[in-house]
Chains A and B, each alone.
Chain A
Amino acid sequence: GIQVEQSPPDLILQEGANSTLRCNFSDSVNNLQWFHQNPWGQLINLFYIPSGTKQNGRLSATTVATERYSLLYISSSQTTDSGVYFCAVGDRGSTLGRLYFGRGTQLTVWP
């Protein structure tokens, strides 16, 4: 299956700082999603972004499919941004809908 690597594995920030999370993948994709797993374990959909750029408030994401990476930007971070951020991709060659997950980036935002 497709390999998904996320970096950095851990990130510690002061409130108000900006950050960039990266997701590299090993093959062509037909789906790329970013999720936030909050401290209660819930997976929150952030972006569905197999290509291009999207913005939602303080968060934005860019996927460069031809170079097989995606970036998630968090600006003016808040303590509520803490949690694990996952990148997941769907392989063009595999059964529709199947997602492969990276190991995540653990983000901690201090007040």
Chain B
Amino acid sequence: NAGVTQTPKFQVLKTGQSMTLQCAQDMNHEYMSWYRQDPGMGLRLIHYSVGAGITDQGEVPNGYNVSRSTTEDFPLRLLSAAPSQTSVYFCASSRGRQTVSSYNEQFFGPGTRLTVL
């Protein structure tokens, strides 16, 4: 298994441009999420999905859109990039059923480093 993969690894955008960060997992996980990491801080949740066709907002959703058309893929869209969105973005997944404790364990992708000028 490749686990959780993210593309691109690095990206530079100009203010106002749009782009999509890709995330895919091959573990048949129900739960997928996007986090951002800013200097000196832990990760903060942007959006998450509990299954195909179901998404919801996390702590910092403004400026980002998501969709989940398949179990495997969970892209994150920046509609109009702003310098405040300069960050490292991580995608994560888990099997997602609380009734089985170990299914809650989350696995993270390698991250995408985004700079908005």
Residues of A within 8 A of B (CB): 1, 4, 30-31, 33, 35, 41-43, 45, 48, 50, 86, 88, 90, 95-104
User: Of B40, B45, B88, B98, which one neighbours A99 at CB under 8 angstroms?
Assistant: B45
How close is B53's CB to chain A, nearest CB, in angstroms? 16
A contact residues around B44 at 8 Å (CB): 101
Whether B43 pairs with A41 at a CB distance below 8 angstroms is no
A contact residues around B101 at 8 Å (CB): 30, 50
Q: Per-position contact with A for B18-58: 1 when CB-CB < 8 Å, else 0? A: 00000000000001010100001111110010100000101
B contact residues around A33 at 8 Å (CB): 105-106
Write the chain A residue with the least CB distance to B30.
A97
Whether A88 pairs with B42 at a CB distance below 8 angstroms is yes
Write the chain A residue with the least CB distance to B49.
A97
Q: Compute how far the CA of A42 lies from the CA of B37 in the bound complex, rounded to whole angstroms.
A: 12
Residues of B within 8 A of A (CB): 31, 33, 35, 40-45, 48, 50, 56, 58-59, 88, 90, 92, 94, 96-98, 101-102, 104-108, 110-111, 113
Q: When A and B form their complex, what is the total count of cross-chain residue pairs whose Cβ atoms lie within 8 Å?
A: 70
Whether A31 pairs with B42 at a CB distance below 8 angstroms is no
A contact residues around B94 at 8 Å (CB): 97
B contact residues around A95 at 8 Å (CB): 48, 50, 56
| With contact pairs A41-B111, A43-B108 given, residues A98 and B42 touching in the complex (Cβ less than 8 Å) | no
Q: Compute how far the CA of A96 lies from the CA of B54 in the bound complex, rounded to whole angstroms.
A: 13
B contact residues around A102 at 8 Å (CB): 42
Whether A97 pairs with B42 at a CB distance below 8 angstroms is no
| With contact pairs A88-B42, A97-B96 given, residues A42 and B102 touching in the complex (Cβ less than 8 Å) | no
Whether A31 pairs with B104 at a CB distance below 8 angstroms is yes
Q: Compute how far the CA of A11 lies from the CA of B33 in the bound complex, rounded to whole angstroms.
A: 30
Q: Compute how far the CA of A99 lies from the CA of B92 in the bound complex, rounded to whole angstroms.
A: 10
Q: Compute how far the CA of A20 lies from the CA of B111 in the bound complex, rounded to whole angstroms.
A: 28
Could you list 6 examples of A-B contacts with CB < 8 Å? Answer: A30-B101, A41-B113, A48-B104, A50-B104, A98-B33, A99-B45
Given contacts A4-B42, A96-B31, A96-B97, 11 further A-B contacts (CB under 8 A): A1-B59, A31-B105, A35-B108, A41-B113, A45-B107, A88-B42, A96-B50, A96-B98, A98-B45, A99-B45, A99-B106
